[in-house]
Amino acid sequence: MAEIIQKDGTWVFDGDAVRLTPGRDKSVGVLRRTLGELVVPLEALAGVSFEQGRRAGRLRLRLREGADPLLHATGGRLGEPHDPYQLLVEPERHGVAEYFTDEVRNALLLDEVGSGPVDRFLLPGPSVPLSVSAGDGTASFDGDRVRLEWNWKTEDAKAAAGARTLAVGDITGVEWHPAVGLENGSLRFAVRGAATKAPPKYDPNSVELWGFKRDPLMALVAAAVQARLPHPAAPPAGDVRPSGPLLPRQLGPAPAEDGHDALLRRLRELGELHRTGVLTDEEFTAAKQAILGRM
């Protein structure tokens, strides 16, 4: 097991998953605090890195495309204090961060986890019920329906139409955009049979956001809804062909193989990766030592 404890949060890796717990420091963003603890299975990871800095380093997890409904709904637009897959590391803990990085990388190599996209969500998304007030309205979601209610700041024509209730079955997409500079952000729902190009200010299926503190919480609503929509990369109904790279364990039952022979085979594969330059000397040595330890 590998563990790193910081003011910014605590990350624990047990060999099967990385458990991310936000810290209580004032620098931790409101989205991370509200989202709470995340458990990221190893198969959802595409990589891990540690970047050193003079005052603080940064641990980063990179998830496979399509694995997390939060990342899908926000399109990589979460700002630094709100991104749950980053951890600030104090200078005296850089060595621990490097050890943590090596442990996760070795596990990815040994378990032969692919880094390509997936066709199903591997994380569940935020828990429901969920209700957030920001911008010109309140968005609530109970797992089956989204309700949009307006406040005194809502544009008159939009408010006159009254509150909106959207069944999950009628929603074809959802996305969250933060406010950037003079451009307002939004939480927008695409609804079957109600296509519109109107700005969020006038769109009855959108909440307009103005860059205030609670805006990032609307991303949680977007993620909770996204987790209950069909995965964008899922194969069509009745099509059993894989839609993307599969992990070895997804290819069906494999012939029985002695554990010792399997580790020897993996050593040979690592040697080939090292010979062709895919693995650095340090990565090859660390992975080889991990395999030898298992033998």
Q: Which residue reads 């919480």 in tokens? A: 217
Closest to 34 in 3D by CA, of 20, 22, 26? 22
Separation of alpha carbons 19 and 12, rounded Å: 5
Give CA–CA dist 192/194, Å, rounded.
6
* Cα 284 from Cα 280, distance rounded (Å): 6
CA angle 37, 42, 47 (to 5 degrees): 100
The dihedral region occupied by 124, where left means phi > 0, alpha psi between -120 and 50, and beta the remainder, is alpha
Q: What is the pLDDT along the chain (295 residues), one digit of tens a residue?
A: 899 999 999 999 999 999 999 999 888 999 999 999 999 999 999 999 999 887 889 999 999 999 999 999 999 899 889 999 999 999 999 999 999 999 999 999 999 999 999 999 999 999 999 999 999 999 999 999 999 999 999 999 999 999 999 999 999 999 999 999 889 999 999 999 887 778 999 999 999 999 999 999 999 999 999 999 999 998 876 555 444 433 333 333 334 445 666 666 677 677 767 666 666 777 778 777 777 766 6
Task: Please provide the DSSP assignment of 176-214 as one string.
Answer: EE--BTTB-EEEEEEETT------TTT-TTEEEE-S-TT
Q: Which amino acid is at 181?
A: G
CB atoms within 10 A of CB 117: 15
Rounded to two decimals, the pTM is 0.80
